[in-house]
Amino acid sequence: MRFRIGKYKSLLVFAVVSLIIMGLCYNIAGAQDFKNSALAYNLMELVPEECGVLDTSPGVLADVEFQRDQFGNISDKTNINLMATNVYAGAHAEFRITAQNVSDITLSVDEYKLEFEQSEDSLADLIYFSGIVKIIRYGEQYYDELGSFENVSLTELDDNLTAILKYRKIDLKEKIVLELNQQFDNDQAKFAGRTNLSYRLFPVFVQYFPQNDKTTPESE
């Protein structure tokens, strides 16, 4: 069936989504010199060749972008932008994001922090997220699905990701994979005059220590 773009006279633009991999959470670091070391800034890195677009609705243009130098080489593997344009009511864009533990310590997620603009033309309350979080272990021979979520609002996204990953052990060279589907509300009338959205996710990693609390996922 031919996709009829004319049905959506006011095509919407879904702007930049940034996923920024942060270093060690300073208030948990044990010493000032460790806080200031290179390790504090190079715990996790994105894997460019394993980040990309999995699927989109007809007509939606999506891509992943890294910061690059003047020669086109990736200059920052801790920051990725997820781009989607020509989105409309009921549309979706699905991305795969992979990050690897490149430090020499075992890590865990402390929390995900979320920032987004609340302007009058924002689409923040018209987008929902579903996703699966996996960890790839043993030299990529095995993966474990840590958890999933479905149809959560933007304001709930950080709490859902934190709940899935908090206390989970990420060993050296292991990879965390997030398959994230961004779904827009089906009601076209709600989109009048609303043309953009920009938000940033900050996963903050800390050194992993076994938890004594039996209610944590690692002890189940």
Q: Say yes or no to pLDDT of 100 above 90.
A: yes
- 26-42: per-residue pLDDT in tens? 333 333 333 333 334 56
pLDDT of 155: 93
3-state secondary structure 154-189: HHHHHHHHHHHHECCCECCCCEEEEEEEEEECCCHH
Range in 21-30, 36-45, 182-191 the model is least confident about: 21-30
What does the pLDDT read at residue 219?
Answer: 47
Q: Which residue has the higher pLDDT, 39 or 17?
A: 17
Q: Which DSSP category does 217 fall into?
A: G
Is pTM beyond 0.85? Reply is: no
Measured distance CA(38)–CA(103) in Å, rounded: 10
What is the Cα–Cα distance from 173 to 157, expressed in whole angstroms? 26
Instruction: Specify the higher pLDDT residue, 16 or 48.
Output: 48
Give yes or no for residue 69 having a pLDDT over 80. yes
pLDDT band per the 50, 70, 90 thresholds, residue 182: very high
> pLDDT by residue (tens digit) across 121-142?
888 899 999 999 999 987 777 8
Residue 13 has pLDDT above 80, yes or no: no
Q: Is the pLDDT of residue 186 over 80?
A: yes
More confident residue, 89 or 149: 149
